[in-house]
Amino acid sequence: MAAAAVFPAASEVTMLYGGALASGALTGRLALFGHHFHQGFSAYLSVVLVGVAGNTLGAACGWVIGVRGGHPLLERYGRYAHITPHRIERAERWFDRFGNVAVPLGFATPVVRSFVAIPAGMFEVPFPRFILSALGGVAAFCVAIAGIGWAAGSSWHTARHDLQYVEFAVAAAAVLAIAFLLVRHRRSINMAGNADPPR
């Protein structure tokens, strides 16, 4: 969850799984500082608290990266964290559009949430305002997504099984697309070779 504040690291799946685990639908135990939680509300609460703590800590680190590094850092190393110039522009538009609610709304929104902390630092959102806003958005996200995991806990295995078929379909589509591009490229080379005038 700390990494997911600055990198798309599947925070949604993490919190869904934690909620499902807390519901008792999955085998496994939750432990926090040596204390083991059995299924129930206390387990759900521990999942939410740890998710909030980790994500908020990661958000603070992301803010510092944004303040210290800014645009030059992202332009040089952003591609390693999937932060492209296009995403930076989208983040700027997000902050322009939503103003003071950009941070809490961003951290409460799946996918967008990984691209809020660093731009907030770059745009010099004051740290006290940033961290309180981030905490609110992160808490809303963790409570909601872990709650969905809790509610769907009994059908987790079915959902996971169905998602495997989606992964297979995406992989097959990628293989077919690559094969199509290779065949097309080869044909264009052959056609160019046939079009060359004889010497």
> Can you give the pLDDT of all 199 residues of the chain as single tens digits?
998 888 777 888 889 888 888 887 766 666 666 666 677 788 889 899 999 999 999 999 999 988 888 777 777 766 666 666 777 777 778 788 877 888 898 899 888 888 888 888 888 889 999 999 999 999 999 999 999 988 887 565 555 666 556 556 666 777 787 777 777 767 777 776 666 555 5
Q: Supply the pLDDT for residue 9.
A: 75
Q: Supply the pLDDT for residue 164.
A: 59
Rounded distance, CA 120 to CA 51, Å? 21
Structure tokens at 61: 């680190």
